[in-house]
Amino acid sequence: MPKNLKYKLATPILEKLDDELQTRGIGMCPGCGEELAIRYALRVMGKNTMVFTAPGCSPSALAAGTDKGSTLGIPSMGCYMTNLPPIASGVKRYLKRKGQDVNIICIAGDGVSGDVGFQPLSGAAERGENIIYMCLDNEAYMNTGIQRSGSTPRHSWTTTTPVGIAGRGKPQLPKYLPLLMALHGGVSYAATATPYYMEDFVNKLMKAKSVTDGMAYLHVLAACPTGWRAPADSFMQLSKLAVETNYFPIWESSYGQFRFTKTPKKVKPITAFTSAMGRFKHFTDEEIESFQDMVDVRYEQMQLQCSRHTGNEEKT
């Protein structure tokens, strides 16, 4: 029998969350979705939390502050891209040893989590370090100006995978980090989420917060209007389309038991998603087909994982 996490159900939740821990006036791009994700993540975590970040969009603007101070009302520490989970784990371990129960949350992007910082993250996950790790995946190195990452989808334009005579976007298939993370033995809880489904997201944050015997890993699709070449007010729409086209499956894994927590009633063709952004505007029919194939394969992988689970799926 799988173990069950003890947590309070989030519905109705949003009114009951803690005060906001961020100050106003943080330096994010207009329409940034990461800001929303972090705001709610910290409201769920509450004041008894320490935040650990590594270079990237949100950390630059949040924990490290924009000038001479942090924008957070709670302790925070800037780590390097290569040592975020171990530093957070070191703090957690020592505080636990001293009898202090503090929520430790790491917030970083896909470059830190999946590329340069993957080894320490994977090591911490295997050891079951009792930290919450939230990856805000905007599918490229957005903070340095939209460079290709391991999470950038196939054929996507970035400034280092431009479109020209000799190249048409990123040639490779991406690394599907959330599944890789969920398959680590020390990860008690893993989930994908988007702030578009806020209650689902908050539920998952609460489950993550309740984990006491391993790592909780949250993989949040952080639609990036700036880097994805879309209008500043498109974050919600892009997040919704990502789920409705099966581009970004919404699932959770509790002690290795996978299940979808949102599934579209009617799956839209991938063009509904790709046509909304400039990063895919060069797509030919063949590239659209190839992109659709990438999406289908990923979704089938997740169906396979979820097929072992006996629970019911929620419908959107």
Partner 1 sequence: MEAIKTGDVKVGDGNFAAAHAVRMAKPDLIAIYPITPQTSLIEKLSQFRVDGLIDADMIEVEGETSAIGLTIGAAVAGGRVFTSTSSMGLNFMFDGYQMAANYRQPVVMVNANRENPAPAQISAGQQDVMTVSEVGWIQIHVENCQEIFDSVLMAFKLAEDPEILMPVSVCYDGFYLSYLREAIKFPAQETVDQFIPRQPRPVLGFDPPTFLAWRAIHDEDTAEYRLRQQIAYDKSKDKMDAIDEEFGKLFGRRYGGQIEEYRMEDAEIALVCLGSHTGTARVVIDKKREEGIKVGLVKVRTFRPFPKEKLAEAVKGLKAVGVIDRSVCFTWQGGHIFRDLKTSLYGHDYIPLVNFIGGLAGHDITIPLLENAVDVTLNAGEGKPFKEINWMALENL
What the block records as the tokens of 107 is: 């917030």
Is 122 among the residues that bind partner 1 (CB under 8 A)? yes
Beta carbons within 10 angstroms of residue 255's beta carbon? 16
Is 127 among the residues that bind partner 1 (CB under 8 A)? yes
CB of 69 to partner 1, least distance (A): 7
* Phi, psi of 180, deg, nearest 5: -55, -45
Binding-residue pattern over the window 81 to 110 for partner 1, x denoting contact by CB under 8 A? -xxxxxxxxxxxxxx-xx------------
Residues 6+ apart with CB under 8 A from 285: none
Is 77 among the residues that bind partner 1 (CB under 8 A)? yes
Q: Which stretch binds partner 1 (CB under 8 A): 6-14, 50-58, 204-212, 298-306?
A: 50-58
Pairing of strands 76-78, 49-53: parallel
Whichever of 188 and 192 has its CB closer to partner 1, that residue is 188
Is 55 among the residues that bind partner 1 (CB under 8 A)? yes
Rounded Cα–Cα distance for residues 175 and 46 (Å): 32
* Phi, psi of 219, deg, nearest 5: -115, 110
Q: Which stretch binds partner 1 (CB under 8 A): 65-73, 211-219, 254-262, 308-316?
A: 65-73
Is 266 among the residues that bind partner 1 (CB under 8 A)? no
Is 75 among the residues that bind partner 1 (CB under 8 A)? yes
Rounded Cα–Cα distance for residues 177 and 217 (Å): 10
What the block records as the tokens of 214 is: 């391993």
Interface contacts to partner 1, rule CB under 8 A? 47-48, 50, 53, 55, 60, 63-65, 67-70, 72-80, 82-95, 97-98, 119-120, 122-124, 126-127
